[in-house]
Amino acid sequence: MAIGEMKTLFDPELVSDLINKVKGKSSLAALSGQTPIPFTGMKEMTFTMDKDIDIVAENGKKTEGGITVAPVTILPVKFEYGARISDEFLYASEDEQLDILTAFNDGFAAKLAKGFDMAAMHGINPRTKEASAVIGNNHFDAKVTNTVNYAAGTADENLEDAIALVDGADGDVTGMALSKTFGAAMSKIKANGVRQYPEFAFGANPGVFAGRKVDVNSTPNIGTTKDHAIVGDFDLAFKWGYAKEIPVEVIQYGDPDNSSKDLKGYNQVYIRAEAYLGWGILVPEFFARIVEAGA
């Protein structure tokens, strides 16, 4: 980034690295594939065949099966993070500037991953932890009404019950996002003194459990409603993606973070990055949540 260039884009390699890091730290990104989302948004059509398929005799009468079509609009949401650093950044070599931006990229990826989960799971602004009007009800806590009450001693049975709810809606469970509390509870379940699920012991994140993708993270348990697990069809019934342009600004003047401290007065510059992520829960009944009773 040349000095004096106020706004540019992350290098394509940094963008690829950022998205890979998001996938590694976000449960939703780890459990589902991503697709690019245009800035103007996209519309996903979901089809429900209302009846079973029909067998018709030769020259026999055909009857209508029926179909229900429901569009789901996926709009990108802006996620922003900024930080003040010394204005020595402006006078550093391009290699040193790149090193700083790479480090910023690493931190931004971790915050973006956590923020994505918190927004799409709970509908909250990650910084304020309050409900976001921008997100509205486009989140799992609002859309997924299949719930099971959490009980630590029978966490495995809770999981079975949640999977049964998805199965009962003709869905397939392809992935499971588990809270760290739930993972710890699974590790403690014993029969005749023997751990039944040692793959969860000591805070482990096994990646695969019972033939399904699994991710253990703190993010399901953040929010007004305490989710201990979200299970369901993350392959087909949930979609997310990002707009490829991820701008970064180096701001030299003013008070961009509203801290009442002028940048020039404190010999600082402000680095700000923005990413645009969109998501949609296409078939809410293909998911179930294990929740804290009474939360």
**Residues 56-68 pLDDT 10s:** 767 666 666 655 5
What is residue 68's predicted lDDT score, i.e. its pLDDT? Answer: 57
Instruction: Please report the pLDDT score of residue 223 as a whole number.
Output: 73
Residues sharing a CB contact under 8 Å with residue 99, sequence separation 6 or more, in sequence order = none
What pLDDT, on a 0 to 100 scale, did the predictor assign at position 16? Answer: 78
Per residue in 29-45, pLDDT (tens digit) is: 999 988 766 656 565 54
**pLDDT at site 4:** 41
Tell me the whole-structure pTM to 2 decimals: 0.85
- Cα 163 from Cα 143, distance rounded (Å): 17
Instruction: Give residue 287's identity as a one-letter amino acid code.
Output: F
**CA nearest to 86, candidates 269, 236, 277, 259:** 269
Please state, in angstroms and as integers, the Cα–Cα distance from residue 164 to each residue in 13, 32, 143, following that order: 42, 21, 18
Give me the helices (H) in 32-124, please: 94-122
Q: Which residues of the chain have pLDDT under 50?
A: 1-5, 45
φ, ψ (nearest 5 deg) of residue 19? -65, -40
